[in-house]
Homo-oligomer: A and B are copies of this chain.
Amino acid sequence: MKKSFGPRTLVYPVPVWAVGTYDKEGRPDVAAVAWGGVCCSIPPCVTISLRKATLTYANIMERKAFSINVPSAGLFKEVDYFGLVSGREQDKLCRAGLKAVRCRIADAPYIDEFPLVLECRLLQALEIGLHTAFIGEILDVLADEDVIGEQGFPEMNKIKPVLYSPELHDYYETGALLGKAFQSGKDILQK
């Protein structure tokens, strides 16, 4: 018998990403985002949700572009800080001692110290309620050499991305390899 918790955003796993944007004057800003995920394979798209009151909302509307910066576990305090204050009050990258670099394609900055970066251009803004979902087309994926594995791609266990726990407000690390996708279930398929 399952216990009911009512209507709330209580689900796992949820990512922790830093979203990079430029404001009207070209100043770089970053925001912490946990409401987001991949939303299409062709074209490759990702969605992030933001409140209208945020600087990042205004910047994406202005520039039609953003970056998604995936922190390694060692950067969780920096991303938490990004969620504690608005870029209208503090130069967050400067205060956190991080370096903004202009994306190669998207009109947005990325954070040099973050091991995995998605350059995105805004495809669509969908108003849902308190949050607006921004659908971004992934124009390029950038990764540091030291997180690239033997198969030539950045690996989850080298990046060690951060998970967010809604309601309880905890951050978690990612864990051990469980098995291969599109293979692990073959025994059930064929039984």
Contacts and interface: CB of A to CB of B under 8 A. Distances in A.
A50 to B, nearest CB: 10
Nearest to A11: B118
B12 A174 contact: yes
Contact of A185 (B11, B42, B82, B163): B82
Given A11-B141, A12-B159, A177-B172, A185 B81 contact: yes
Contacts of A180: 169-171
A4 B83 contact: no
B163 A13 contact: yes
Given A6-B140, A14-B37, A179 B185 contact: no
Q: State the oligomeric state as a number of copies.
A: 2
B11 A68 contact: yes
A44 B151 CA distance: 39
A3 B143 contact: yes
Contacts of A34: 38
B35 A37 contact: yes
Chain A's interface: helix, strand, loop or mixed, by majority? mixed
Interface in A86-140: 90, 95-96, 104, 116-118, 123-124, 126, 128-131, 133, 135, 137-140
A44 B7 contact: yes
A164 interface: yes
A162 interface: yes
A65 interface: no
27 contacts: A4-B140, A6-B140, A7-B139, A10-B118, A11-B15, A11-B38, A11-B118, A13-B13, A13-B15, A13-B162, A14-B38, A37-B38, A38-B166, A43-B129, A47-B133, A76-B179, A76-B184, A80-B179, A83-B185, A84-B185, A85-B189, A156-B170, A170-B177, A170-B181, A173-B174, A173-B178, A174-B175
